[in-house]
Structure 1
Amino acid sequence: MAKPKRGVPKKVRVPTIQDVARLAKVAPATVSNVLNDSRPVAAIRKERVLAAVQALGYRPNALAASLRRKETRTIGIVVPDLTNPFFGALVHRIEELAAESDYQILLVSSNEDPKQEAARIRTLLDRRIDGLIVAPARDEVEAVSHPIGALPPTVLVDRGFGLAGFDTIAADNVEAGHRGCQHLLELGHRDIALIAMDPKLANFADRIAGYRKALAEAGAGRRARVVTGGLDVESCRTAIERELRRPDRPTAIFAASYVATLGAIKAIRAVGLDLPGDVSLLGIDDADWMEALHPYISAVAQPVEQMATEAWRLLNQRLAGGTAKSARIRLPCTLHVRESTRAVR
């Protein structure tokens, strides 16, 4: 008789519901009734089934069961950047809420690329997810080249506000830009450069509009200076450093995103300016490290936990069969004044 090959692991047979039924001396339907609590089962039979389950180490196939119920209790989440603490906090809160409702999440990143976003949404759809929460890479969702009816209930967060056919949630970005610029104006700054990753994205366009509004109200509308930074830290750093090396350099930087804030700090250090003695810095989006290193960074914080809560609430309404018209929710931001913004010299 041939000896088994060395190094080849022996295949372990996974116990089935039929194995449990044979050991417990009951019908497979009785095992199913016990495990799903779908029908009453006599106490003695129930005890035999549970003992057999434990003895065999049987685990029900949750996916197969959920597909029979035409639901998987799974929600897909798509974000543009997993390294951004804003999206990390958003996902963390949604995951908490999902767990409370006995849902699992499948998380993917688009890496700020609409093509990757579309491909990854299609992959999630192949997993038979029950719903989607998407922070789009752009203000459109390319995967919606499918008919909207082909998608499960879907909520858009942060970008894509007002996109037809979807519930959408975003911060009040106009007010965020307005209030942040007002803070710098109140400190005496008039040469304020606003750094936006991509002014064509609606959330950045709104922040720019709020910034311009505040400057106009202060009689400094002609001094608006909007700089396109790019989608990563280094491109933002390069753009900001260029501004800081100009003879008429700004006295304050208003970084319209977390990525732009990191780029601004690197640029200020590279040029050798003192923060905030030579230049003040205010960011949009808050993070724990902004209160860990000196100077503490002033920031306009988006209401990330509330955005996650509203996204989950709206998605649950859709999953329950809600047919109301698409929701449009804007939430207020909060200004946190710290050490990086100071009165102009």
Structure 2
Amino acid sequence: MKKNVTIRDVARESGLSIATISRYLNGKGYLSEQSEKKIKDVMERLDYKPNEVARSLSKGKTNTIALIIPDITNPFFPELVVAIEGVARRRGYSLFLINTEEELLHSTGFWRSLESRFIDGLILGSFQFNGEVLKGMENMNLPFVRIDRGAEDDEDNSFGVNNSDGAKLAVAHLIEVGCQKIAHISGPSAYPSSLERVKGYREAMKKYLPLQEECIYEGDFSLESGQKLTKELMNNHGDCDGIFFGNDLMAIGALKTLKLMNIRVPQDIAIIGFDGIQLTQMVDPEISTIEQPIYELGKLATTHLIDMIEKKNEGSAYVKLDVHLRKRESTLGNIPRV
């Protein structure tokens, strides 16, 4: 078995002190050209690899950021991860991905465990920022940004989209294709983004269909809740001819339920989601959606966090990006109602 070469071996072979070798490795303090060359030659000859973790800890910086998300099975998050990891890598940082349930963030054990990872900053997506979560982050004393469902209006270091305007676009499009009774299957009311989408739905309904009583079912952004609540909705409101879903995954889940109920999309009912994930183009029919700039969202949040870590900004950004209506078969083939 090959013996691990240590800094002591380099010092002994070069005839220099451990402190001198350490100054060379950390780039601190003066060294003569002769000493630098001698150290470099010995390191190459002995095939010495510095312990990068130990060096990072000695500098108080590991060039690692953590991304905490609630559901890696939701295709929205892998698309977000691609953007965040790409920006981090180009800036010389590694990404530590944590997929965890909401409840775990409320325990002190979670935050103690995270402290042992020696990270430089946090990106938190899609969680409620109650007192316990905020206390855990404050105890770590690290820069952090909020993204997606975790973003809140007028909160520093929040990166989200204009959810209310997106909901209005969705309802207006359903009106455009002839829908006369439109329901909304929302995300959890604990998330600011869900509340903003509900708000947009209500305002659009008041504008376009003021006589219709609002029809809202609260889901949890999962495929299963899209299936379950669509069935419940159609059993209770068989005359519903348009559904705006709080995210794409619930809209995808609804397709199977509607097919099993012999309700045709878009001939009998038009559906539209929210997010713009690629999977909406891989189902039949393809699903209309309110498209978030997912890559841009991840890029801006990661760039801002790393600038905070490197003290290149004051950490006070608030970003709300525009969304876009992407019309597809789940609405475009709809037959206008008489």
Q: TM-score range by the shorter chain?
A: 0.7 to 0.9
Q: Which SS does the other structure have where 1:340 is aligned?
A: helix
- Taking the aligned partners of 2:286 and 2:136, their CA distance within structure 1 comes to 46
Comparing 100-109 with 116-125, greater Cα deviation is found at 116-125
Moved more, 200-209 or 228-237: 228-237
**Deviation of the 1:72 alpha carbon:** 1.5
Match of 1:105 in 2: 95
Is structure 2 residue 127 aligned with structure 1 residue 115? no
Change in Cα spacing, 1:133 to 1:211, as seen in structure 2 (3 Å) is same
Aligned match of 2:78: 88
Q: Percent identity?
A: 27
Letter of the structure 2 residue corresponding to residue 73 of structure 1: N
Deviation at 1:152, TM superposition (A): 0.4
Classify 1:150/1:166 alpha carbon distance in 2 versus 1 (closer, same or farther; 3 Å).
farther
Single out whichever of 287-296 and 141-150 deviates more from structure 2: 141-150
- Quick one: distance in 2 between partners of 1:153 and 1:271? 50
CA distance in 1, matches of 2:13, 2:255: 67
Instruction: Kindly report the root-mean-square deviation, in angstroms, between the aligned alpha carbons of the 2 structures.
Output: 2.7
Q: Corresponding residue for 1:156?
A: 146
The yes-or-no answer on 1:337 pairing with 2:327 is: yes
Residues 232 and 141 from structure 1, CA distance in 2 versus in 1: closer, same or farther, beyond 3 angstroms? farther
- Out of 284, 295, 309, the residue aligned to residue 274 of structure 2 is 284
Corresponding residue number in structure 2 for 1:311: 301
How big is each residue's C-alpha offset from its partner over 1:35-88, in whole Å with a ceiling of 9 and x where there is no partner?
A: 444456555654543343344332211121112111121111111111222222
Please state whether the residue corresponding to 2:97 is helix, strand or coil. strand
Please show how residues 227-242 of structure 1 align to structure 2 within 5 Å. 227-242=217-232
Question: What secondary structure is seen at the aligned counterpart in 2 of 1:283?
Answer: strand
SS for the counterpart of 2:284 is coil
Q: Which has the higher contact order (CA 8 A, sep 6+)?
A: 2
Alpha carbons of 1:47 and 1:147: their partners in 2 closer, same or farther (altered >3 Å)?
closer
Classify 1:46/1:221 alpha carbon distance in 2 versus 1 (closer, same or farther; 3 Å). farther
What residue in structure 1 maps to residue 196 of structure 2?
A: 206
1:215-230 → structure 2 map (5 Å cutoff): 215-220=205-210, 222-230=212-220
Q: What is the TM-score of this pair, normalised by structure 1?
A: 0.86
Residues 4-153 of structure 1 aligned to structure 2 (within 5 Å): 13-38=3-28, 45-111=35-101, 113-116=102-105, 118=107, 119-140=109-130, 142-146=132-136, 148=138, 150-153=140-143
Once residues 221 and 83 of structure 2 are traced to their aligned partners in structure 1, the CA distance between those partners, rounded to angstroms, is: 25
Kept in 2, the 8 Å contact 1:229–1:239? The answer is yes
* Contact persistence 1:95–1:104 (CA under 8 A): yes
Residue 166 of structure 2 corresponds to residue 176 of structure 1 = yes
Contact conserved, 1:79 with 1:135, CA < 8 A, in 2? yes
Distance 1:86 1:195 in 2: 18
Choose from 244, 248, 252 the match for 2:238. 248
Distance 1:67 1:235 in 2: 45
Q: How many residues align?
A: 334
C-alpha deviation, 1:264, in angstroms: 1.2
Change (3 A) 1:282 1:73: same
Deviations 1:127-154 (A, max 9, x none): 2211111014224363323473643011
* Residue deviations 1:13-47 (CA, integer Å, cap 9, x gap): 42211112323443334433444444565556545
Distance 2:95 2:28 in 1: 26
Larger CA deviation: 171-180 vs 65-74: 65-74
Change in 2 beyond 3 A, CA 1:221/1:203: farther
Please, what TM-score do these two structures have when normalized by structure 2?
A: 0.88
Q: Deviations over 1:233-285 (max 9, x none)?
A: 22331111122234634212211113312221221122122221222111101
1:196–1:228 contact (8 Å) kept in structure 2: yes
- Cα-to-partner distance string for 1:200-248 (whole Å, 9 max, x where unaligned): 3221111011011111111335332111223532233111112223463
Query: Aligned partners of 2:237, 2:123: CA distance in 1, in Å?
Result: 46
Q: More deviation in 307-316 or 333-342? A: 307-316
- Once the two structures are superposed, residues 271-304 of structure 1 have per-residue CA deviations (whole angstroms, 9 ceiling, x without a partner) of 1222212221111012223223332211111121
**CA distance in structure 1 between the partners assigned to 2:250 and 2:279 by the alignment:** 15
CA distance in 2, matches of 1:40, 1:82: 49
Kept after mapping to 1: 8 A contact 2:181/2:240: yes
Q: Distance in 1 between matches of 2:316 and 2:33?
A: 50
Gaps of 5+ in 1: 1-9
Cα distance in 2 for residues equivalent to 1:323 and 1:51: 40
Q: Distance in 1 between matches of 2:11 and 2:262?
A: 75
Matched, 1:262 2:252: yes
Q: Runs of 5+ in structure 2 lacking a partner?
A: none
